[in-house]
């Protein structure tokens, strides 16, 4: 199964069934109810999957697209692999096993371990999204037009445009500041034409 394709299908069904927009409190309330059912029968796989479905639903409703969700799963696994963990054999099975907290860096720049892999993955994912936005800006566009051209969700597009603006690769025209309030009407253009 392709995770990104699955999340796209779940989003389509969820929007049609429960409507668009954030429902964070409602989803958290539902997760709490599912956790009670899991505590009653931890062997019931369907209840565990209900929690996964609810978490995915909450993530897209807070502005993350399927690619963001898949990326974060990979990133978080790599990050956890690089953390120090206590010996599970000595841990209380009724309590959470938490990573050992220290203030050291997760990885050195020359490291080839999981944290380095996570950082490289994040960089490639971010670069791919930046390229997607820049390619969509063959001609200046409003944020609403860019959402259609790129297929990116509002919050994802906002983050990528903000990063590209800091890198001085895009600018907004008409003298409007690129802020969330007037974001949909802000016209954005590439500063230079890049061969992508």
**Is residue 146 included in any domain, yes or no?**
yes
Q: Are 188 and 140 in contact (CB under 8 A)?
A: yes
Please indicate, yes or no, whether residues 121 and 186 belong to a single structural domain of this protein.
yes
Lowest mean pLDDT among 18-22, 117-121, 136-140, 192-196: 192-196
Bridge partners of residue 170, in order along the sequence: 190
CATH number of residue 132's parent domain = 1.10.10.10
Residue-wise pLDDT for 74-89, tens only, equals 878 878 888 899 999 9
**Is residue 13 included in any domain, yes or no?**
yes
| Percent of the chain topping pLDDT 70 | 77
**Is residue 36 included in any domain, yes or no?**
yes
**Is residue 18 included in any domain, yes or no?**
yes
- Give Cβ neighbours of residue 57 (< 8 Å, ≥ 6 apart): 10, 14, 18, 23, 27
Boundary of a domain, candidates 15, 36, 62: 62
Boundary of a domain, candidates 42, 62, 82: 62
Backbone angles phi, psi at 50, to 5 degrees: -55, -40
Q: What is the pLDDT of residue 32?
A: 97
Q: What is the pLDDT of residue 44?
A: 97
**Is residue 195 included in any domain, yes or no?**
no
**Is residue 103 included in any domain, yes or no?**
no
Domain count, the chain: 2
**Is residue 79 included in any domain, yes or no?**
no
What's the domain range around 127? Answer: 117-190
Boundary of a domain, candidates 46, 62, 78: 62
Residue-wise pLDDT for 115-125, tens only, equals 566 566 666 76
Confidence of residue 56 (pLDDT cuts 50, 70, 90): very high
pTM, 2 dp: 0.59
Q: Are 3 and 74 in contact (CB under 8 A)?
A: no
**Is residue 53 included in any domain, yes or no?**
yes
Q: What is the pLDDT of residue 138?
A: 78
């Amino acid at each position: 199964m392709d995770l990104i394709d699955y999340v796209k299908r779940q989003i389509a069904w969820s929007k049609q069934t429960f409507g668009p927009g954030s429902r964070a409190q409602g989803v958290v309330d539902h997760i709490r109810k599912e956790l009670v059912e899991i505590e009653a029968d931890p062997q019931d796989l369907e209840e565990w999957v209900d929690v996964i479905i609810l978490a995915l639903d909450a993530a897209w409703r807070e502005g993350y697209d399927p690619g963001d969700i898949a990326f974060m799963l990979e990133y978080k696994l790599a990050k956890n692999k690089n953390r120090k963990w206590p010996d599970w054999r000595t841990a209380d099975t009724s309590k959470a096993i938490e990573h050992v907290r220290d203030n050291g860096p997760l990885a050195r720049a020359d490291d080839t371990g999981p944290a380095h892999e996570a950082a490289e993955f994040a960089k490639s994912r971010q670069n791919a999204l930046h390229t997607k936005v820049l390619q969509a800006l063959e001609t200046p566009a409003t944020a609403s037009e860019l959402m259609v051209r790129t297929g990116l969700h509002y919050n994802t597009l906002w983050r990528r445009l903000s990063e590209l603006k800091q890198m001085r690769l895009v600018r907004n025209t008409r003298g409007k500041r690129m802020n969330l309030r007037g974001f949909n009407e802000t016209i954005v253009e590439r500063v230079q034409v890049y061969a992508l």
